[in-house]
Structure 1
């Protein structure tokens, strides 16, 4: 199996790194294109993969082709490679809002397309990727791709109609979690804790809380209630968060992401 990346920034680099670490493919089985020589040199030195400035070279090489450029460049890139991509090539999009129908319209013919939405924790192998295979993609091809994506963390098949929701609930949300961690650390610093220690306590608390949700299978509300002693400090803090509208702010933010992804 030969894997190619058109564009290889943070997410593409995370995937290459994870695949090599897990020995899912060898470096000679991968190729990536990058616009700038500095980026190509860095990829070559870090991973030992073939690099090029020619997107067509990547398309011709690849059994699985990952389009990892920014969404606004998708039409231009597809126009460049559409005559080169073979009928059995798996074309993987990681761009929000680019539907299977839109992708096939750009290629001008039926293509084996898969929509994926990873998130930035994939850079440390702790991500979750939503995967929506197109109608042309076989179960075997899907399984091959899922195996490669496992290098980024967890994967889950979702219907295409939910891909915009995946983008909001897991793709965009790390930014909001980082903001939450930063705000908690700021409060700790205001109350006298050194900055580095404050980040450590806040981040570990978020990490441990997330693990509790995943490993206990309990409802988040139940786990929240376990922390709230009658008349205690936690319920006092929760009352402030409710007063400030934390729940509605988070819901509104994620739904705004979904609408943006859908182009509404």
Structure 2
């Protein structure tokens, strides 16, 4: 008999490895929130282990409610944290590091791990910029996604030469607390970022469209969204647990002469596959452009 959802969550919390490090965030936006809430909800850290800085109070309120340490001073975070996650918008990296350097007044000891979740910015660029505040920076480049907030995230990361095996271990702990996580070569980071990092946005658009279709056919909006969300959740779980190719699972739904294959025919005529492939390609290209601009 299958264990109920609440029981599964309880068992997962019991199995989470507690993280003993102090985690800092420079930047308090949506990605930082997803990582931080995922860590707290999973039981991997207490809110008191989190330090976070942002230039304004706009995003700080949620963190204060959680019980994290908050500040408008990046140096406050860097001084107190063992692991610093760079989570500002990529174009603000230089300004954030300059403010941090001014606040610290001297180079940091080489005891801090820096994890960047900034789209497109390569490890060698990050290392060079971080030398403003630490002589030999230890850097991990990561790309999580917002479903970390509900422990269903999909994260990938790559390590710098200077990063230690212990750095890799703590990075894996941080991101696997909110879902699946694996280490990959840096050459694949932009592509993975497009699929898992930007992918939720594409899926939300498709979900909204399916719900609109249901509303058009007379189903109330709230019920339409719930039906679509559960359908997407169940479909994803079938792919992960069955080991079957999505095409096989699609075929199992489409009976000869049935209604599903008629709907598939409309999608194929509209070029949905090609559009989604183009969306991934466009996202990768933009990530590459952002890396060159930094």
- Uncovered stretches (5+) of structure 1, i.e. residues with no partner: none
Q: What is the deviation of 1:41?
A: 4.3
- The corresponding residue for 1:183 is 209
Tell me the alpha carbon deviations over residues 62-91 of structure 1, each in whole angstroms, 9 at most, x when there is no partner. 210011111110122123335544322110
Q: What is the deviation of 1:221?
A: 0.7
Q: Does 1:211 align with 2:258?
A: no
- The corresponding residue for 1:67 is 86
Contact kept? 1:11, 1:123, Cα under 8 Å: no
Return closer, same or farther for 1:84/1:56 CA change in 2, 3 Å cut-off.
Answer: farther
Greater shift in the superposed pair: 216-225 or 150-159: 150-159
- The corresponding residue for 2:67 is 48
Contact kept? 1:19, 1:148, Cα under 8 Å: yes
Structure-to-structure mapping, 1:22-41, within 5 angstroms:
22-37=42-57, 39-41=59-61
Q: How far, CA to CA, are the matches of 1:41 and 1:120 in structure 2? A: 19
Structure-to-structure mapping, 1:1-264, within 5 angstroms:
1-37=21-57, 39-44=59-64, 46-81=65-100, 83-108=106-131, 109-263=135-289
Return closer, same or farther for 1:236/1:22 CA change in 2, 3 Å cut-off.
Answer: closer
Q: How far, CA to CA, are the matches of 2:267 and 2:226 in structure 1? A: 22
Contact kept? 1:10, 1:123, Cα under 8 Å: no
Q: How far, CA to CA, are the matches of 1:119 and 1:26 in structure 2? A: 21
Q: How far, CA to CA, are the matches of 1:14 and 1:29 in structure 2? A: 16
> What TM-score does the superposition give when structure 2 sets the normalisation length?
0.84
Contact kept? 1:64, 1:90, Cα under 8 Å: yes
Runs of 4+ aligned structure 1 residues displaced above 6 Å come to: none
Q: What is the deviation of 1:234?
A: 1.0
Contact kept? 1:60, 1:84, Cα under 8 Å: no
Greater shift in the superposed pair: 105-114 or 68-77: 105-114
Q: How far, CA to CA, are the matches of 1:49 and 1:147 in structure 2? A: 19
> What TM-score does the superposition give when structure 1 sets the normalisation length?
0.93
Q: How far, CA to CA, are the matches of 1:126 and 1:76 in structure 2? A: 33
Partner SS, residue 92 of structure 1: strand
- Uncovered stretches (5+) of structure 2, i.e. residues with no partner: 1-20
Partner SS, residue 37 of structure 1: coil
Return closer, same or farther for 1:25/1:187 CA change in 2, 3 Å cut-off.
Answer: closer
Give the total of aligned pairs.
Answer: 263
Contact kept? 2:73, 2:100, Cα under 8 Å: no
